[in-house]
């Protein structure tokens, strides 16, 4: 038991050091820093998704559940988006590639109160399936890259 308290303290300090940390750009990701607060960016992202003809299929985030447990963490929401047209087209090229749908957008709250929108580019997401799906799947991924760029531009501005 006497070792549990120091261990718990170390975990909490480590968590606090990373909470609200801005996401850094990484290969295959788009990272859009904004001046918007978390709730506004979530709302604007959902609006931009709809404007681009996609549908919010899933949403998940640990923030509200953590709060119910008495734990405060920065805003964090994963928004899965897709539509049936893309689903049918992807399935025509590769059944396995559909495991990646919906493609996720990630909204995170930063320590300064602003929020970041990030996502793995659809080209990155579908890359492991291009050998089976070929040029048609690569074309779908490139089309989705453009749509996601429009979403991020509209949501982030």
Q: Tell me, what's the pLDDT at 5?
A: 45
Confidence of residue 6 (pLDDT cuts 50, 70, 90): very low
**Closest Cα to residue 111, out of 12, 39, 17, 44?**
17
Q: What is the pLDDT of residues 11-32, one digit of tens each?
A: 433 443 344 567 788 899 999 9
With contact defined as beta carbons under 8 Å apart, do 149 and 122 qualify?
no
**CATH number, span 22-156:** 3.30.310.70
Range list of β-strands (E), 26-153: 29-33, 55-60, 76-82, 103-109, 115-120
Q: Tell me, what's the pLDDT at 20?
A: 53
pLDDT at 8 > cutoff 80: no
**Closest Cα to residue 151, out of 122, 108, 112, 110?**
122
Predicted TM-score (pTM) of the model is 0.85
Q: Tell me, what's the pLDDT at 2?
A: 54
- Report how far apart the first and last C-alpha atoms of the chain are (Å, whole number): 51
């Amino acid at each position: 038991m006497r070792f549990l308290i120091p261990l718990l303290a170390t975990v909490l300090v480590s968590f606090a050091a990373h909470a609200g940390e801005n996401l850094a750009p990484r290969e295959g990701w788009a990272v859009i820093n904004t001046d918007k607060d978390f709730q506004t960016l979530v709302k604007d992202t959902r609006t931009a998704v709809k404007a681009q003809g996609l549908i919010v299929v899933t949403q998940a985030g640990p923030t509200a559940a953590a709060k119910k447990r008495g734990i405060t963490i920065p805003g964090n929401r994963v928004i899965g988006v897709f539509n049936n047209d893309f689903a049918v087209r992807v399935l025509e090229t590769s059944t396995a590639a559909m495991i990646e749908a919906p493609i996720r957008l990630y909204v995170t709250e930063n320590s300064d109160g602003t929020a970041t929108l990030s996502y793995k580019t659809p080209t990155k997401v579908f890359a492991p399936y291009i050998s089976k799906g070929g040029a048609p799947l690569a074309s779908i991924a490139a089309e989705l890259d453009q749509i996601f760029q429009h979403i991020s531009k509209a949501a982030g501005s």
